[in-house]
């Protein structure tokens, strides 16, 4: 068992504590990754606040990039020295979801507390948050959670491909399957929302309407491809969005913020036949309401998505190519860089809503 530093959550809502933990070598089908960069995702914050439940103590963090340092028996296609993006998408490869090219909903259970490769310094179990536990110097994960990328891509930018980018773009391309000429609304111009906007631009949407609470965020959305902006705090913002859409509404509405009241209003932006795509996830206790009659009569729908229904071996290399071609903004998504010991400062900055993506840089 090796000793590493990690940011540990001992109490929901309390600051994370930087302390020494132990990590076991990779076993069959596992790899060890030296973490060079890990981004702060709202899901990590929600877990640390107790919004998604789960055992304690825990190590969160799941949007990471680094170098493979060791591989376990049975691992093929990855070797020590490889630069990888590491995600929370753990796939067995043989369940019905994996056979249907939906590894994000893999049905093979994994006990990320009792069977996790990490332990406290005293040898007690540690919850490996989101099957990753990447707020740490090293991680041991299933080989399916990593994909090799070019050595020369900046690690802090590469880390964003592990969640925020694939979730936002995947929700547009893989889930809604937006076509050229369609109209979309993206509610929330944070890290995931900006990537949904990029995805809509890449997919050829004619009108991309960003909805957020500040002019600053709307200006940022336009830098990433939004054609119009609507302030969410104004009375009936859906009316303004529909006016922009020629009175018809949007073919797809992407809710990228984890706030239940936003889901209440989201169907109001839709055109007949359109769908609300649930991207941002509220806390488990929060509920939303909608009219089945109104949506049914208009042939509208609500579609959930986990991680943009991404297949990382297929989608991450494509996104790296888009980045190389200048068609995908990655570097511009990074607002601030912090060290591991500054993680609580990074979390506070993310919670303020002012950051696109904050990144913890370890190497």
pLDDT in tens, 104-125: 999 999 999 999 999 999 999 9
Question: Distance from first CA to last CA of the chain, Å, rounded?
Answer: 22
Q: Do residues 148 and 9 share a domain?
A: yes
What mean pLDDT is predicted for residues 288-311? 96
Q: Which backbone phi and psi does 85 adopt, to 5 degrees?
A: -100, 130
Residues 151-163 have a mean pLDDT of 97
The 10s digit of each residue's pLDDT in 211-261 is: 999 999 999 999 999 999 999 999 999 999 999 999 999 999 999 999 999
Let me know how long the chain is: 363
Q: Is residue 340 part of a domain?
A: yes
Cα(71)–Cα(321) distance, integer angstroms: 27
Best CA proximity match to 137, nearest among 13, 40, 18, 14: 18
Distance CA 60, CA 154 (A): 22
Dihedral angle sign, alpha carbons of residues 237, 43, 160, 145:
negative
**Residue 196 and residue 284 in one domain:** yes
Domain housing 343: 2-154+330-361
Are 71 and 187 found together in one domain? no
Of 20-24, 84-88, 285-289, give the lowest mean pLDDT range. Answer: 285-289
In this predicted structure, the answer to whether residue 134 has a pLDDT above a threshold of 90 is yes
8 A C-beta contact, residue 362 and residue 64 = no
CATH of the domain at 338: 3.90.180.10
The answer to the question of residue 191 being in a domain is yes
Same domain, 258 and 355: no
CA–CA distance, 246 with 43 (Å, rounded to integer): 35
Q: Is the pLDDT of residue 321 over 90?
A: yes
Instruction: Enumerate helices (H) and strands (E) in the chain, giving the number of each.
Output: 11, 18
Within a domain: residue 316?
A: no
Domain count, the chain: 2
pLDDT at 70: 98
Average pLDDT value for the chain? 97
Q: Are residues 173 and 148 in the same domain?
A: no
Is the domain of 178 the same as that of 261?
A: yes
Per DSSP, 24 falls in state P
Report the DSSP beta bridge partners of residue 118: 23
Query: What CATH number is attached to the domain comprising 273?
Result: 3.40.50.720
Q: Average the pLDDT over 258-281 and give the result.
A: 96
**pLDDT > 90? residue 47:** yes
Two tokens, residue 65? 């990039």
Asked if residue 284 has pLDDT above 90, the reply is no
- Given a contact cutoff of 8 angstroms between Cβ atoms, the answer to whether 270 and 294 are in contact is no
Residues 229, 234, 239, CA angle at the centre, nearest 5°? 70
Band of residue 130 on the pLDDT scale cut at 50, 70, 90:
very high
């Amino acid at each position: 068992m090796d000793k590493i530093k990690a940011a540990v959550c001992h109490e929901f809502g309390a600051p994370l504590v930087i302390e020494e933990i132990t990590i076991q070598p990779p076993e069959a089908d596992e790899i060890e990754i030296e973490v060079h960069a890990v981004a702060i995702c709202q899901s990590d914050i929600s877990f640390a606040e107790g919004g998604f439940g789960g055992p304690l103590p825990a190590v969160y963090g799941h949007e990471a990039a680094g170098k493979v340092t060791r591989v376990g028996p049975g691992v093929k296609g990855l070797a020590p020295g490889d630069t990888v993006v590491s995600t929370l998408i753990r796939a067995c490869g043989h369940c019905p979801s994996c056979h249907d090219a939906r590894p994000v909903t893999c049905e093979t259970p994994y006990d990320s507390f009792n069977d996790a490769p990490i332990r406290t310094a005293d040898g007690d179990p540690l919850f490996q948050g989101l099957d990753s536990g990447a707020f740490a110097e090293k991680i041991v994960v299933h080989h399916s959670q990593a994909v090799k990328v070019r050595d020369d891509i900046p690690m802090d930018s590469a880390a964003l491909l592990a969640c925020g980018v694939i979730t936002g773009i995947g929700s547009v391309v893989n889930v809604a399957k937006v076509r050229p000429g369609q109209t979309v609304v993206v509610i929330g111009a944070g890290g995931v929302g900006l990537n949904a906007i990029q995805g809509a631009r890449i997919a050829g949407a004619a009108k991309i309407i960003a909805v957020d609470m500040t002019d600053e965020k709307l200006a940022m959305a336009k830098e990433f491809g939004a054609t119009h902006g609507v302030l969410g705090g104004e009375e009936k913002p859906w009316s303004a969005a529909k006016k922009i859409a020629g009175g018809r509404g949007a073919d797809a509405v992407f809710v990228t913020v984890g706030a239940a009241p936003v889901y209440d209003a989201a169907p109001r932006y839709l055109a007949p036949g359109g769908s609300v795509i649930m991207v941002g996830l509220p806390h488990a206790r929060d509920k939303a309401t909608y009219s089945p009659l109104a949506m049914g009569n208009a042939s509208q729908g609500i579609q959930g998505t986990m991680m943009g229904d991404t297949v990382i071996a297929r989608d991450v290399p494509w996104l790296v190519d888009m980045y190389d071609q200048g068609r995908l903004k990655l570097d511009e998504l990074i607002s601030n860089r912090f060290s591991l010991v500054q993680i609580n400062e990074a979390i506070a900055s993310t919670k303020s809503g002012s950051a696109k993506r904050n990144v913890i840089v370890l190497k």
